[in-house]
Amino acid sequence: MISVNQDTCIKCGACEGVCPSGAIAVKETVTYCDTCESEPKCADVCPNGALTVGDIIISDDADPVVRLNFNPSKCDQCGECISACPKSIMKLGDEEGELPLGGYCVMCQQCVDICPVDAIGMPGIKEPASREVNIEGAVYIEDCVGCGTCVSECPVEAITLSGYGEPITIDEDTCIKCGICSQTCPWNAVYISENIPTKRGKTINTFTLNN
């Protein structure tokens, strides 16, 4: 099974985008199929044998890990697996060309490989990265990469970036400690009022233009 360190995750969504079965979703927290800690409830309740449990060898020096196998020809979209899923990650496919079911982990490891901060791992094989930060003061900056994302988000223009790639500076006399920069920072480099940042959700809006 995979494991996600919610504290080090930067909510970039790369894992969600690469997962072939829709078994991981990034919102305020990361929701993902952990195969019910190697005893998948969805496979137990499937009346047609569309979901079955298999083993895969990830590493020569580790025990096999559980993955879910799905046979779409046996799935009648009864929804029993969705009701049984404790993570509420499973869903029925309702668009043309989609598989009839999504949300089950096949242990392809694509999410592990793509995570830019190694927040996703597999217990006993590759542990998710952890990070210890000793936050000092009301405004604390560590390992800023100078991307500039937070600069335009600051409502009082307290953040200065001398050049891309250079760390930001925050004028503490101007800063109102709202925490928007901390929530916006893609790299968890800014801490306000000694708080671990909760990332703001990212939504993509669509619109049409009238000619």
pLDDT digits (tens, 9 = 90+) for 67-83: 999 999 999 999 999 99
Complete DSSP assignment for 105-154 = -----HHHHH-TT--EEBTTTBPPP-------SSEEE-S-----TTTTT-
Please state, as a whole number, how many other Cβ atoms lie within 10 Å of the Cβ of residue 210: 3
Options 2.30.30.90, 3.30.70.20, 3.40.190.10, 3.55.50.30; CATH for 3-121 is 3.30.70.20
| Least confident among 10-14, 132-136, 167-171 | 132-136
Q: Which pLDDT score is estimated for 200?
A: 61
126 and 112 in contact (C-beta within 8 Å)?
Answer: yes
143 and 131 in contact (C-beta within 8 Å)?
Answer: no
Can you list the alpha helix ranges (DSSP code H) found in the chain? 14-18, 35-38, 41-45, 80-84, 110-114, 180-184
Among 141, 138, 206, residue whose Cα is nearest residue 172: 138
Per domain, the residue ranges of the chain are 3-121, 132-211
Mean pLDDT in residue range 12-17 = 90
> 132-211: which CATH architecture?
2-Layer Sandwich (3.30)
Residue 14 has pLDDT above 80, yes or no: yes
**Do 3-121 and 132-211 share a fold?**
yes
pLDDT band, very low/low/confident/very high, at 60 (cuts 50, 70, 90): confident
HSE-up of 154 (CA within 13 Å, CB side)? Answer: 24
Kindly report, residue by residue over 149-200, the tens digit of the pLDDT. Answer: 999 999 999 999 998 889 999 999 999 999 899 888 888 889 888 777 666 6
d(CA 3, CA 23): 12
